[in-house]
A and B are shown apart, each in its own frame.
Chain A
Amino acid sequence: MPKTILIVDDDPNIREYLETLLTDNGYETIVAENGEKALEVLAAQTPDLITLDIEMPDKTGPWFNRALQRGKTYANIPIIVITGHTGLKYVIPNAVGSLGKPFEQKELLDLVRETIGS
């Protein structure tokens, strides 16, 4: 049973990149373009991990995270932050890891594997 990863990013090119990279490495992926859409996805299925962008139009990464932390159901899903902003990791204090853009593919895959296995 492959692990499912929710990719949240407003840039379609980056969503496509992460989707391809993670699928090629044996994970199943779901995508969302902002925090609000991501919540809608969560209503349908629970992923094992979330990659989260910080700055997105409308509902940002921190907004989405606060929504997750308010309930019990999703609060434990590990989050990996992938952002272009340096020094903004603290806005998601519960994240298991944080990668800057552009990131090393190996670094991401190692972190994912460490967190949820392959």
Chain B
Amino acid sequence: MSERLLLVDDEDDIRRFLGMFLADLGYEVQAASNGTNALELFETFKPAIVLTDIKMPGMDGLELLKRIKARSPETEVVMISGHGDMDLAIGCLQYEAADFVTKPINHDILDAALKRIDEKLALRRQLRQYTENLEKLVSEKSHRVVELERQLAAGEMVETMCQAISGLSADFGDKAGYFNEMPCFVAVHNRSLEVVATNQLYKERLGDMVGHHSWEAYVGQALRGFDGPVWKTFETGKGQRSRETMLCKNGRELPVMVHTSPLGQRNGKVELVLELAVDVSEIKRLQEELRVTQQKYMDLFEATPCHIALRDRDYRIVANNTLFKEDFGEGVGKLCHQIFRHRDEPCPDCPVDVTFADGAPHTLEAVVTCLDGRTKNVLTFSAPIRNGKGEITEVMALSTDITQIRQLQDHLTSLGLMLGSISHGVKGMLTALEGGVYRLESGIKRNDAARIADAGDTIKSLVGRVRNLVLNVLYYAKSRDMAGEPVDITHLATNVAQIVEPKAARERIAFTWDIPAGLGAVPLDTANISAALVNILENAIDACAADTGKDAHAITFRAATTADAVIFDITDNGMGMSQETREKAFTLFFSSKGLKGTGLGLFIAHDVVKKHGGVIDLSSEPGVGTQFHIVIPRQ
């Protein structure tokens, strides 16, 4: 470091040459030509050494020395004196001039004088540094003492609090068993995120962490850095609550619930943070056990091969299992009757309603429609689900698919029904046959040729009837494919129309048919297809007769053939069907006609068309009417 030196002399040459010499010695030099200038420069340049001539016009060197020493006693001033100024020069020493040199200036003497001054300056600086260091040291030491006092106080506070907590938990007695057992780790942290104090348990279980970083006690926090609860508390000034995992002394990981709160604020900044960590491993184990149990129940709920739905009092589904979702779509939040039975209003026969009312289980058999349009016969069991107070909050409806059982039952029932009707038919035919035999015998006895011939015809036709009956029985006894000779469709459809016409006329229904000539021949089971069409047409007549909403009713019957299919359309403007009725229309023994219907007609029609590989499309609207669209492929 080069010292600053201010050179003051009224002679230009001296200023120039002496300036150059001093600069060569390594000083940073500025020069002034008189005392006034020198004082001004002194303020801005702040030299450590001033080299000044004593005799100058205006303010002389002595005056300058006095003023400089008055302003800055530590500045070293060296006086330059001419011949005969020795007394004056010595006088200057009284005013604390550092030295004097005489003109003409001997460079060696000046150099020596400056060196002495440099040493003096260096010594003084060193002294000042020592002093400053000492002050700093004292300040540091005393700060440390204060800090230690504070930590001691914090530690005491932690232990006191722990005692208070354990005393508090002891007061709870048996009611808070877990709380008593709960080990609680307490630590105090400072702003540098260091552990300042911990309680005894903390030390025993987690190790002596005092002086360590706040995050070291946590698993994963060392990597995450500054985002732990302690740091957040310092940042936000607010208490934190989080789940963390702490690392035990023995390497075991410990799940804890951490609560932190700020302690003492200075200048709006949190000074310390109190951290309470509670070992929740037992709670965690119980929670895990609960989760496993819940999962088991959930698996059971999901995997049960039944449709399960939970419903509240407002007809909303609150839970449904996998099979339910597969067949009816996600029902949660939706209305039960809409999802399950496509009704706008709650079902009048709902077993869940009854269970809500009486708390007992109930059952219902119903026909429901899946997302893909399949209908299913289901048997629904309802069971109440109660809350802690024993009130029924929800009811579970568990529906078993009994479609196959129903189909089997349908088949058996239709067989039974057939047997009933067959036995009646057989009795009639037997009677008629006996009549034929009687007339044959009596004809022979009376030798009445006409009676004999007539009786023969009767017997022959009766044998035909028996044959047909037997074939019908065989049809119901085993499901065989429909097959038949090519049938003229125009002829078949016209026959059907003629069978139905009288009944339509009796009910005063305008029955029109559109059956083009020459529809061609298609292989069909004539009798069964005719019966199916008659069944549907008779249903249409009943639907019109039962409808009181309109003055006039009409039914149209249309037959057509395309390259690959035969098509029949039957349209009426009768009473129409609700969606529920529509879905059940083809179910055996489902009748919307009360005692008047057997529930057989549309079932058999559907069965016959299906066995021909065809489909019946049914669209209907209550109060408007119904359309049947039947398509039977040529093959």
Q: Does chain A have a CB within 8 A of B149? A: no
Mask for A37-75, Cβ within 8 A of B = 1, else 0? 000000000000000000100000000000000000000
B434 touches A17 (CB 8 A): yes
Which stretch, A28-36, A89-97, A98-106, A110-118, touches the partner chain B?
Answer: A98-106
| Contact of B431 (CB < 8 Å), options: A20, A24, A102 | A102
B424 touches A20 (CB 8 A): no
B424 touches A13 (CB 8 A): no
Q: Does chain B have a CB within 8 A of A3? A: no
Which residues of chain A have C-beta atoms less than 8 A from B442's C-beta? 20, 24
A20 touches B438 (CB 8 A): yes
A13 touches B462 (CB 8 A): yes
| Contact of B435 (CB < 8 Å), options: A16, A55, A85 | A16
A81 to B240 CA separation, bound complex (whole angstroms): 98
A101 touches B430 (CB 8 A): yes
Nearest opposing residue in chain B for A24, CB measure = B442
B428 touches A18 (CB 8 A): no
Interface centre among B430, B431, B436, B462 (most CB of A within 10 A): B431
Chain B contact residue count (CB 8 A cutoff): 20
Given contacts A55-B424, A84-B424, A84-B427, contact A13 B432 (CB under 8 A): yes
Which residues of chain A have C-beta atoms less than 8 A from B434's C-beta? 17, 102, 105
Mask for B416-456, Cβ within 8 A of A = 1, else 0? 00000001110110111111101100100000000100100
Which residues of chain B have C-beta atoms less than 8 A from A13's C-beta? 432, 435-436, 458, 461-462
Which residues of chain A have C-beta atoms less than 8 A from B451's C-beta? 20
Selected A-B contacts with CB under 8 Å, 27 pairs: A11-B431, A13-B432, A13-B435, A13-B458, A13-B461, A13-B462, A14-B435, A16-B454, A17-B431, A17-B436, A17-B438, A17-B439, A18-B435, A20-B438, A20-B439, A20-B451, A24-B442, A55-B424, A84-B423, A84-B425, A84-B428, A84-B431, A101-B428, A101-B431, A102-B430, A102-B431, A102-B433
B427 to chain A, nearest CB (A): 4
Q: Does chain B have a CB within 8 A of A21? A: yes
A82 to B424 CA separation, bound complex (whole angstroms): 12
Nearest opposing residue in chain A for B420, CB measure = A85
Nearest opposing residue in chain B for A18, CB measure = B435
| Contact of A17 (CB < 8 Å), options: B425, B432, B461 | B432
B424 touches A16 (CB 8 A): no
Given contacts A13-B458, A13-B462, contact A20 B435 (CB under 8 A): yes
The 3 A-B pairs at the shortest CB distance, nearest first, are namely A17-B435, A13-B432, A84-B427
Chain A contact residue count (CB 8 A cutoff): 18
Nearest opposing residue in chain A for B426, CB measure = A84
A16 touches B439 (CB 8 A): yes
Which residues of chain B have C-beta atoms less than 8 A from A82's C-beta? 431
A11 to B462 CA separation, bound complex (whole angstroms): 11
Mask for A4-19, Cβ within 8 A of B = 1, else 0? 0000000101101110
Mask for B279-297, Cβ within 8 A of A = 1, else 0? 0000000000000000000
Interface centre among A14, A16, A82, A102 (most CB of B within 10 A): A102
A1 to B369 CA separation, bound complex (whole angstroms): 71
A14 to B433 CA separation, bound complex (whole angstroms): 8
B428 touches A14 (CB 8 A): yes
A11 to B424 CA separation, bound complex (whole angstroms): 12
| Contact of B438 (CB < 8 Å), options: A11, A84, A85, A105 | A105
Which residues of chain B have C-beta atoms less than 8 A from A16's C-beta? 435, 439, 454, 458
A103 to B433 CA separation, bound complex (whole angstroms): 12
A105 to B437 CA separation, bound complex (whole angstroms): 12
Question: Which residues in window 147-164 of B have CB below 8 A to A?
Answer: none
B428 to chain A, nearest CB (A): 5
A100 to B427 CA separation, bound complex (whole angstroms): 8
A55 to B427 CA separation, bound complex (whole angstroms): 12
A24 to B435 CA separation, bound complex (whole angstroms): 13
A102 to B432 CA separation, bound complex (whole angstroms): 8
Given contacts A13-B458, A102-B430, contact A21 B435 (CB under 8 A): yes
B428 touches A11 (CB 8 A): yes
A103 to B434 CA separation, bound complex (whole angstroms): 9
A85 to B442 CA separation, bound complex (whole angstroms): 28
Which residues of chain A have C-beta atoms less than 8 A from B427's C-beta? 84, 100-102
A106 to chain B, nearest CB (A): 12
Question: Which residues in window 214-256 of B have CB below 8 A to A?
Answer: none
B181 to chain A, nearest CB (A): 81
B462 to chain A, nearest CB (A): 6
User: A13-B432, A101-B431 known; 8 other A-B pairs, CB under 8 Å?
Assistant: A13-B436, A13-B458, A13-B462, A14-B428, A16-B458, A101-B428, A102-B434, A103-B431
Which residues of chain A have C-beta atoms less than 8 A from B430's C-beta? 101-102
B502 to chain A, nearest CB (A): 10
A81 to B345 CA separation, bound complex (whole angstroms): 50
A84 to B77 CA separation, bound complex (whole angstroms): 155
A13 to B438 CA separation, bound complex (whole angstroms): 12
Nearest opposing residue in chain B for A20, CB measure = B439
Nearest opposing residue in chain B for A84, CB measure = B427
B124 to chain A, nearest CB (A): 142
Which residues of chain B have C-beta atoms less than 8 A from A84's C-beta? 423-425, 427-428, 431
